[in-house]
Structure 1
Amino acid sequence: MQSSSDHATQNPELSMNAAPQNWKSWLLTDTPASRKQAALGLAYRRWQRFASNPLSVFGFVILAVLIIIAAIGPLIAPHDPLQQVLSDRLMPPGSASHWFGTDQLGRDILSRLIYGSRLTLSIAMLVVVIVVPVGLMIGTTAGFFGGWVDNVLMRVTDVALAFPKIVLALAFAAALGPGVINAVIAISITAWPAYARLSRAETLRLVEADFIHVARLQGASKLRILLRYIVPLCSSSVIVRATLDMAGIILTVAGLGFLGLGAQPPAPEWGFMVASGRNVLLDSWWVATIPGFAILLVSLAFNLLGDGLRDVFDPRHGG
């Protein structure tokens, strides 16, 4: 009888595929031997579920490319985004020196788009970094402690939700004055209530779970239960919501820039670029249309990525 080693030698494909198959079976086993194996297996299953959705992968790729472009912007931008060359004003797209054309002051639109991606993404990320922890802590605290704490925090949340977000953001931005920091503050003030509501609903579901009762019986303090169990388990839903909301945040940032309440000129912010091109839209469509298409593409990519993450972390699918 032929030994297994001889069989592997005569069948090189078997030996080449043995390692990947072993890794796959190790990750997908139903009886993990350690926490590390269980965590890696869960991450692998989630990646498989995410990769099975081509639209979500498309959104992920678009955002990954955008982040890379924003990170290395100064290295790949063909021109200085603030340089004005009046002799080259309103050049149409397609020329060798200006692929996306120029604006009314002769500035290269491609270079301004590249630098503008850094500014737009920075504002959106700052908003998320502020509102997610605030909304998460308010919602989990209200849902976990209940009683008068819940009533006070949720009434404040209801008041904030009673106003349309864009109107409230415009009001705060106008009161605080134009500028990037003020735009971040204005959008953050209007964005946190949705995360508080979501995390409170998740907390009300989790506090009745058996493992929470076991933790109480073992003597765990309320603060430990809240920070060790409730907050991490609510984080996935909040992160998915934040990914879906990024499109709306970017549109709000662009809207404030369009109205002159965001980044100030000559900063290459996409919303302001659209606003500056509206007066020449009929004759020089590319000045406003190209940055508008960039806003559309990034918003679509965030929505597609958010849909994929929602499917991955959906508890009904075992995520």
Structure 2
Amino acid sequence: MSDVTLRADLGHWRGWLLDQAPGSRWQARLGRWYRAWLGFRRNGLAMTGFGVVLLLVGIAIFAPLIADREAATLQVLTQRLEPASWQHWFGTDELGRDIYARVVFGSRITLTIVALVSAIVVPVGLGIGLPAGYFGGMVDAVLMRITDIFLAFPRLVLALAFAAALGPGIENAVIAIALTTWPPYARLARAETLTRRRAEFIEAAELQGASHLRILLTQIVPLCLPSVIIRLTLDMAGIILTAAGLGFLGLGAQPPAPEWGAMVSSGRQVLLDQWWVATIPGMAIFITSVGFNLLGDGLRDVSDSRAG
């Protein structure tokens, strides 16, 4: 295919996506997504965050190709606390394990925790917030008072309490973080539902005999999801920091798993002399958190501009 033909095809698709009079619902939906992408792409900081997140996902997926799995756990005491070199790009830790390999494979643990927490908090938040906003009355009062109880405690303190009660481990850390993260999503879902509860399309669905469950799932949930996804992206940094905090205190992933928070904890004893042991995983936590924050800010800006 020649360059002229390729440019012509791209121009055709661009014109089809930006058509002001779409011929189908699918074309209209794709057009909205494409306009949102164009607005997002103009935000340099948001694109930077998007690049950081893509890089993290790529590192996690292709970790076995870019690092030696055995070097992440193999203890070579004769090579302990070595500085960066061609053999060990980020140096070695107190047990002679390669820090570069541990950081690379630690990205898998971080993304696993983030994915599992997200898979829990979004359904739980929607499951509590939607009925509260839709039915109101006693249902709203009971569900929101439960939410207020969880919101009354600092997230990290509550996560530490749950993790200590459940015991150390990634699974228990995920449960502990999820139990402290869902309340804002319930509040957000309730607010979104309240603004649309008396909308004409909801009343039309009720007149047609649609059940409450069908209205919630087909009419209100799709309208709540964009706000929930933006909030989730902004909360990713907090989830990562909480997971790292639990790992730092020994309540997250257990040795020899290369979890970033645990790596920072193991290097704090030699921070002044062998700074790389704690600093490298700390920088990984910092860069990942900033990347998710920038991505969330960009998504929020695009959402606000579309709303305006």
What's the TM-score bracket when you normalise by the shorter of the two chains?
A: over 0.9
| Equivalent residue runs for 1:121-136 within 5 Å | 121-136=111-126
Distance 1:80 1:120 in 2: 19
Residue 110 (structure 1) aligns with: 100
Distance 2:266 2:11 in 1: 57
1:208 CA drift (Å): 2.1
1:195-230 deviations in whole A, cap 9, x for unaligned? 000110010001122221222222222221111111
1:318 CA drift (Å): 4.2
Distance 2:20 2:13 in 1: 14
Alignment: residue pair count? 306
Distance 1:22 1:190 in 2: 48
1:150 CA drift (Å): 0.6
Residue 131 (structure 2) aligns with: 141
User: Could you say if the C-alpha distance between residues 148 and 85 of structure 1 is closer, same or farther in structure 2, counting changes exceeding 3 Å?
Assistant: same
Distance 2:8 2:65 in 1: 43
From 4, 17, 21, the counterpart of 1:31: 21
3-state SS in 1 of match to 2:182: helix
1:231 CA drift (Å): 1.1
Distance 2:80 2:8 in 1: 62
Verify: 1:91 aligned to 2:82, yes or no: yes
Verify: 1:182 aligned to 2:172, yes or no: yes
Verify: 1:80 aligned to 2:61, yes or no: no
From 206, 212, 227, the counterpart of 2:196: 206
1:35 CA drift (Å): 1.3
Matched residue type, 2:206: R
Q: CA RMSD in A?
A: 1.6
- Identify which range, 179-188 or 76-85, moves more after superposition: 76-85
Percent identity between matched residues is: 64
1:311 CA drift (Å): 1.9
1:40 CA drift (Å): 1.3
3-state SS in 2 of match to 1:81: helix
Matched residue type, 1:271: G
Distance 2:6 2:86 in 1: 48
3-state SS in 1 of match to 2:210: coil
TM superposition score normalised by structure 2: 0.95
| Equivalent residue runs for 1:261-300 within 5 Å | 261-300=251-290
Mind listing any 5+ residue stretches in structure 1 that lack a counterpart? 1-11
Matched residue type, 1:166: L
Residue 71 (structure 1) aligns with: 61
Q: Give yes or no for contact 1:136–1:235 (8 Å, CA) kept in 2.
A: no
Matched residue type, 1:54: G
1:14 CA drift (Å): 7.9
1:161-181 deviations in whole A, cap 9, x for unaligned? 111110000011111111111
Distance 1:175 1:160 in 2: 16
1:30 CA drift (Å): 1.3
3-state SS in 1 of match to 2:143: helix
Q: Report which of the two structures shows the higher radius of gyration computed on alpha carbons.
A: 1
TM superposition score normalised by structure 1: 0.92
Distance 1:13 1:178 in 2: 58
From 156, 159, 163, the counterpart of 1:166: 156
User: Could you say if the C-alpha distance between residues 17 and 270 of structure 1 is closer, same or farther in structure 2, counting changes exceeding 3 Å?
Assistant: closer
Verify: 1:242 aligned to 2:244, yes or no: no
Verify: 1:317 aligned to 2:293, yes or no: no
Matched residue type, 2:74: Q
